[in-house]
Each structure stands twice: as C-alpha cells, then as structure tokens.
Structure 1
C-alpha cells in the first residue's frame, strides 16, 4: 500500500469518476492509502477523450479535491 497525498489522483474528484460509488474509491479517500497496482480512469474533461488510465499516486495540474465520504 502507498500513501496518497493531496494533489495525487487517488484524492482527485476525476479519479474513477465514472463509478463514484466504488468501495475502493471510498476506501482510498478515507484512508489515504491505495494498492500500488490499482489503475483507474481519469475523467478530467481535458483528458476524457484520451481515456487515460492512472494510478492513485499519479498527478496533474487538473487536480480537483474529491468530496470525502
């Protein structure tokens, strides 16, 4: 497990945006921890057409904090 910090995809509202109710995403937001092998899609409007797949420790300038569970 890796620690997830503000500014990283795992805590961004766009990480896994297409399935917000996922137990995995809720667990990441509450624990700030994620598996190193987890990959999910980025729903950022600029990136959506690219269908980017990112890890929770990835990051970009489009970070938007997710609402906490």
Structure 2
C-alpha cells in the first residue's frame, strides 16, 4: 500500500470522479492508503482532452480536496 498525502491525486476531487462513490476511492479518502497498482482517470477540466490516467500519489497544480459525502 502507498501512503497518500494532501495535494496528491488520491485525495483530489478529480481523481476517478467518473465513479466517485467507488469503494476503493472512498477507502483512500478515509485511510489515506492506496493500492500500489491503482491507476485511474483525472477529470480536471483543463486536462480533459488529454484523458490522463494517474496514480493516487501523482499530483498537479489543479488539486482540489475531495469531500466525503
């Protein structure tokens, strides 16, 4: 498992936002731990045309904290 910190994709609202209520994504938000093999889509609007796939420990200047609902 990887430790995920504030500012990294795993804790960003754009990480996997196509399926935001996915149990794995919710688990990352609550435990701040992510599987090493996890890769998911980045939904940041300015990057949408690139169809980026990122890891939970990736990061960029477009970070917006995900909110637990």
**TM-score past 0.5 threshold:** yes
In the alignment, structure 1 residue 64 sits paired with structure 2 residue 64:
yes
Q: Counterpart of 2:21?
A: 21
Q: Which runs of 5+ in 2 are unaligned?
A: none
Runs of 4 or more above 4 Å deviation: none
Q: RMSD between aligned alpha carbons? A: 0.7
TM-score (norm 1): 0.96
SS of the residue aligned with 2:45?
A: coil
Q: TM-score when scaled to structure 2? A: 0.96
Q: How many residues align?
A: 69
Unaligned runs of 5+ in 1: none
